[in-house]
Amino acid sequence: MKKRHIIGGAIAAAAAANAVHAALYTPKKTESEPLPQEDVNVQRYRENLSKAIQCKTVSYRESERVDWAEFEKFHKFLDEAYPLIAKTLEKEIVPPANLIYRWKGTRSDLEPIAMLAHQDVVPISAGTEEDWTHDPFSGHDDGEFIWGRGSVDMKNHLIAVMESVEALLEDGYVPERDVYLLFGDNEEVVANSDNGAKDIMLTLKERGITLESIVDEGGAMIPIHVPGVLEHKFLAGVGVAEKGYSDIEIVVNAKGGHSSQPPVHTALGKIAGVIKDLEDNQFKAYLNENMKSLFDAIGRECSYPVRLITCNMPLLHPAIIELSKHIPFLACLTRTTTAVTMAQGSPAANVLPQRAAITVNFRAMPGTTKQDLIDHIRKVCKNKDIEINVLNSKEASSFSPTDSRAYGIIRDVTKSLQSGAIVAPYLVMGGTDAYNYEPICKNIYRYAPFELTTELLRCTHGTNERLPINLMENALLFFKNYIRRASAE
């Protein structure tokens, strides 16, 4: 009897301690000064975004296909739309059409900050032109949205940066640090060896310039609403790293011959075994420190009874990892992903293939290299007669810290502007121009202050890309506040 009482008492004490822990497990407090009142000109932004979309700055892998006159038109438009920037900032073009603007600060002993954006947009897929509600290069303003290619990726961001700098100049603001606006001309061309952003970085590097911090596209503000658990919140993911990208071809060779006398396994049959081995032996899932902070930040915002569970976050990590394997959205945050995307066999139905090949697209976690991918393929494939060819590869970025001055400003400005924002580090799946700046900058953040629904995010690179007008004011306030604060001191 007595023993049972002791056990009961211990459980009650543990439950009480957990309840106290859960009650105290709340969002971490950060010291932040109140933001100054800022004037922003939403009407001018709206008109200029529309005009920016009308410049067809489409990039292609083959640079001879690019209509460079459209980039010239875009540059001329920027000069006319933002007269104070044209008058005050030094402008330079790194051929063919990359833009460097330098806003000289008063303190040359401090490292400059940089705001990045790309000028180019992806083409409209052939045959889908008629599916658009409004012409993709009209920049049509229907009072609710600005429509067109680049309205979300990322002329919205580029024009918001220009608009904010122009507004700061109108206020008579003078930065202490130099402020660079760096706009590449071909970000959308994946794995381009002569990347415009790299040329800009090399231009700065040759001059001995290193940057204190960079803000580029890539992060997201995702609305979260789970009744009773997490209500009316936004997850503001600040991209502190981006995954690697590799297309790897795997080939099986065979004798070939007439299909009337086939072996048990043709080359294509053998490559099917390779596909099975790759899909059955995925990379190990794990939570890196940034993903742990992301889940911790979400756990702290949950409602009280739910926090009885989430306050024990480290104990939940194995369950999160297990769960992530079955949810593609989470899996890509926790492991290097393997996607078999293309396959080739014989050129005719009655000919045995002499060569069968698949292409696998890997998105590597930071820390996993191209060589690790090749070693993984060799290890998991039972067929040892495979040939491995790397077609395209870009290593993952390194991680930017979350205790830097710039990260703190992004967090504070976001939280001041958006009640309910959960600001947390995030891993970016795609590539960005910012990646190219690692040789001259340690604090690289990928973040866009536009709260887009998943439906609108899906239109990026697709049909009916459009930006809601009601998101504009907050975005302009974010950039103006960020640039003012980050360029001071």
- Return residues touching Zn ion (CB under 5 A): 153-154, 217
Which of 255, 267, 272, 263 is CA-nearest to residue 381? 272
| Cα gap 34→481, rounded to integer Å | 11
Reading the block at residue 182, the tokens are 């760096």
Cα–Cα separations (whole angstroms), residue 79 to 67, 83, 89, 162, 167 = 20, 6, 11, 10, 15
Closest separation between CB of residue 113 and Zn ion, Å?
Answer: 20
Nearer to Zn ion, 120 or 178 (CB): 120
Nearer to Zn ion, 287 or 475 (CB): 475
Closest separation between CB of residue 124 and Zn ion, Å?
Answer: 16
Closest separation between CB of residue 64 and Zn ion, Å?
Answer: 23
Nearer to Zn ion, 153 or 242 (CB): 153
Q: Which amino acid is at 313?
A: M
Q: Look at residue 360 and give its three-state secondary structure.
A: strand
Closest separation between CB of residue 481 and Zn ion, Å?
Answer: 23
Nearer to Zn ion, 111 or 199 (CB): 199
> Cis peptide leading into 154, omega within 30 of 0?
yes
Closest separation between CB of residue 433 and Zn ion, Å?
Answer: 8
Q: Look at residue 191 and give its three-state secondary structure.
A: coil
| Cα gap 425→295, rounded to integer Å | 10
> Cis peptide leading into 96, omega within 30 of 0?
yes
| Cα gap 423→262, rounded to integer Å | 60
Closest separation between CB of residue 218 and Zn ion, Å?
Answer: 8
Count Cβ neighbours within 10 Å for each residue of 178-196 and write b for 16 or more, e otherwise.
Answer: bbbbbbbbbbbbeebeebb
Closest separation between CB of residue 208 and Zn ion, Å?
Answer: 29
Closest separation between CB of residue 153 and Zn ion, Å?
Answer: 4
Residue of 187, 217, 301, 412 marked catalytic? 187
Reading the block at residue 423, the tokens are 């600001």
Reading the block at residue 176, the tokens are 């202490």
Nearer to Zn ion, 189 or 396 (CB): 189
What phi-psi label fits residue 97: left (phi over 0), alpha (psi between -120 and 50 degrees) or beta?
alpha
CB-based contacts of 132, cutoff 8 Å, min separation 6: 124, 147, 463, 464
The CA dihedral of 23, 28, 31, 36, to the nearest 10 degrees, is -100
Nearer to Zn ion, 154 or 182 (CB): 154
47 a catalytic residue: no
| Cα gap 32→464, rounded to integer Å | 39
Residue 154: count of CB within 10 angstroms of its CB = 28
10 Å CB burial of residue 308 (0-12, 13-18, 19+) is middle
120 a catalytic residue: yes
**Which residue's beta carbon is nearest to the bound Zn ion?**
153
Nearer to Zn ion, 217 or 301 (CB): 217
Nearer to Zn ion, 154 or 427 (CB): 154
Reading the block at residue 4, the tokens are 């049972």
Catalytic residues: 120, 187
